[in-house]
Each structure stands twice: as C-alpha cells, then as structure tokens.
C-alpha cells in the first residue's frame, strides 16, 4: 500500500510595485506553498517588499513535540529578466529545524535587492520581470513544497 501525498502550490502571484511607499505596503506580493503527507506538513514562502525579500521553509508534524528537530533543505532562486537578459541569484541552506514554527516558516533567507545584485542605487528592485522560487525539502521523507512568485516593476531607478 502506498501513501498518498498531497502537494498544494499556491499559484503564481503577479503584482506591480508602485512608487508610493504607503501604497506599496498594501501591494507587497507574497505566496505560500504546502505539501502534506499524513500529519507532516512542509511549507515554503516568498514575501517581497520594495527593497527586500523573505524566502523561507518550515515543517510541522501534528502530535510531535515542539522541541523535535528535522533537517530541511531550502533552496532559493531569483531571476530578473529585462531586455532579453536574465540575472540569476541562487542560494541554499540545510539545517535542523524545530517543529511548531510559530509565525510561519523559519529557515531560509532575508535578502535585500542589493544582496541579490538587482538593486537600483536607492535600494529598490531594478525594473524588470522577477521570478522568486523557494523549494523546501524535508530530508527524512523527501516531502517538498515549492512556492513561486512572479512580479514586474516598471519604476525607473
């Protein structure tokens, strides 16, 4: 008998960042993806702001103690396409992570647009079409959640 695995990816989100700081806070794009195998839940997230991005993974197993740790692999990809040219940034981390992630996924990266090499002089994301992908894998089970987010910014630097 095989176990059924459900993978739910919250679809690609498309948004345009605006120049007004107050308006952009409302329009900051974000997405989550979950994969479930019985009581085990693996989560990936992407949350983008005007000058940075948070790309995280986590896990939760109902009934397991909160101090139990499991090793996760979190891989991220950021692509910026402009005028037929692509700029790519990738990174990964593998570490033990506790169950019961309060506040959401908690292993991964908080990067500025400058860290990713895609910033205007003022620190905002350069104009272009962006793709953000967070791929979280629970090492012991192989269960994987992949969150993808797409957005475009047209504001000149």
Comparing 26-30, 80-84, 151-155, the range with the smallest average pLDDT is: 26-30
Provide the domain count of the chain.
Answer: 1
Which stretch of DSSP H or E encloses residue 61? strand 52-61
Q: Are 97 and 104 in contact (CB under 8 A)?
A: no
Whole-prediction pTM value? 0.82
Q: What are the tens digits of pLDDT across the range 91-132?
A: 999 999 999 877 778 999 999 999 999 999 999 999 999 999
Q: Domain limits at 138?
A: 6-15+27-153
The residue with greater pLDDT, 134 or 1, is: 134
CB 79 within 8 A of CB 131: yes
Distance CA 98, CA 103 (A): 13
* Maximal CA-CA distance, the chain: 57
| Both tokens assigned to 131 | 């793709």
- Please report whether residue 20 resides in a domain: no
Q: The CATH number of the domain where 111 resides is what?
A: 2.60.40
Residue 95 resides in a domain? yes
Q: Is residue 92 part of a domain?
A: yes
pLDDT tens digits, residue range 6-59? Answer: 333 333 333 333 333 434 445 689 999 999 999 999 999 999 999 999 999 999
């Amino acid at each position: 008998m095989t176990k059924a695995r459900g993978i739910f990816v919250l679809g690609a989100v498309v948004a345009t960042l605006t120049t007004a700081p107050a308006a952009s806070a409302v329009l900051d794009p974000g997405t989550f993806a979950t994969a479930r195998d019985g009581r085990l839940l693996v989560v990936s997230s992407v949350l983008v702001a005007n000058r940075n991005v948070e790309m995280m993974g986590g896990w939760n197993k109902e009934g397991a103690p909160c101090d139990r740790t499991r090793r996760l692999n979190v891989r991220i990809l950021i692509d910026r396409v402009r005028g037929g040219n692509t700029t790519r940034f990738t990174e990964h981390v593998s570490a033990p992570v506790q169950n019961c992630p309060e506040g959401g996924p908690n292993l991964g990266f908080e990067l500025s647009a400058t860290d990713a090499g895609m910033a205007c002089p003022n620190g905002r994301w350069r104009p272009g079409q962006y793709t953000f992908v967070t791929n979280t894998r629970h090492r012991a089970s192989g269960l994987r959640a992949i969150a993808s987010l797409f957005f475009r910014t047209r504001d000149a630097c």
